[in-house]
Amino acid sequence: MTYLHSEDAENKAHMYTYTLLAPDPLEILSTTRNVLMASRHVWINPSAIEALSKQWIHAGITASTANSAWYEQYHFHDDTERTVNWILLLDALNFCFWAQQGQTRWTIEYQHELLNGYWAEAASLTRAIEEGIPLWDAGYLRTISEETVAHIFRGTSTTRIPLFEQRVQNAREVGQVLEEKYNGQFVHAIEQAHYNAIELVQLLANDFPSFRDVASYQSYEVRFLKRAQICVADLFHAFHATRWGALSNIDQLTCFADYKVPQVLRHYNVIEYTPALAQRIDQQELLEAGSAEEVEIRAVTVWACELLRRSLERHGVSLTAIAVDQQLWLAGQQSAAMQPYHRTRTMYY
């Protein structure tokens, strides 16, 4: 196996054609490209991208089959402004569900079903609404107590949801910003963003500090904006691209750089790690947030998804980056036979 390091940047540029083929208003592709070209720990396998692309096409994946399912049984939806605020809260708290090695994973029971991870978060917030907790109310969120948040995320054991204190802080931030800037309703933010997906992502990153997912790599800024983008995508899918989900430029979003998507890409050999990094991940060692290895994994993930999208397009299947992301994320939920994902304690994913 040949390892590609920073001195091979020009060769990599020609081999992988890391060019910007479309507008990049969020500067995610351009800033992650800088990381990609200098990466010393993570790289892309172009032949594996082509293989996975053909595998998806053979499986019959199309733009219609790849549309995100909203999984109504776990998500609150009353078709009013309340749902919009609820989705904002959902994605303000949508991060870091994994347990450290040897610890019990946070799990809940909802409607006689055991859930963990993101599904458990969504179901917990829906359960809270069903119990009469007004999670759509900005004033209520602004001063929500730790005891209430603990009750909302109560599980099947004494194991607490990870980064509990950060979630309390983020919930209060949602309430505070909504009250101070948007008269308590996130629909006003959508209106202020002119129903434009890109403007709404930028608004989230500017006005809600917990959504400002920006890293530093070799002294320059790298933009990911994972949760801001996924919040916009959730609005789009929850309202089926109508009403508050009728957002333009949704196709300009990138994939959502988390820990599950790179796990799946590694499973398909689309992204590869140096032996030392692979060993650390497989042994479930913590990678520090903002470390070179962690930023490289996320940056390479963004471009792997983009190149997969382009490969599918060359073969006549036109998917958005968020549809590609959805397919990869669901594959990670449905298969237990994968090597571990990288572990980083962070509120950004």
How far is CA 25 from each of CA 9, 191, 248, 319, rounded to the nearest angstrom?
Answer: 24, 19, 13, 19
Is 282 considered catalytic here?
no
Given the residues 91, 213, 234, 258, the one annotated as active site: 258
For the chain, how long is the longest CA-to-CA vector?
59
* Torsional sign, CA 318, 322, 327, 328: positive
267 in Cβ contact with 116 (< 8 Å): no
Q: Looking at residue 158, what DSSP letter applies?
A: S
**Gyration radius (Cα) of the chain, Å:** 20
User: How far apart are alpha carbons 314 and 167 in whole angstroms?
Assistant: 42
User: How far apart are alpha carbons 78 and 50 in whole angstroms?
Assistant: 42
User: How far apart are alpha carbons 302 and 254 in whole angstroms?
Assistant: 7
Residue 196 forms beta bridges with which residues?
Answer: 248
40 in Cβ contact with 5 (< 8 Å): yes
User: How far apart are alpha carbons 290 and 275 in whole angstroms?
Assistant: 20
Element (H, E) at 42: strand 42-44
Instruction: Give which of 73, 97, 77 is closest to 86, Cα–Cα.
Output: 77
Instruction: Give which of 328, 319, 257, 334 is closest to 67, Cα–Cα.
Output: 319
User: How far apart are alpha carbons 326 and 332 in whole angstroms?
Assistant: 10
Which residues contact residue 191 at a Cβ distance below 8 angstroms, ignoring those fewer than 6 apart? Answer: none
Residues belonging to the active site: 258
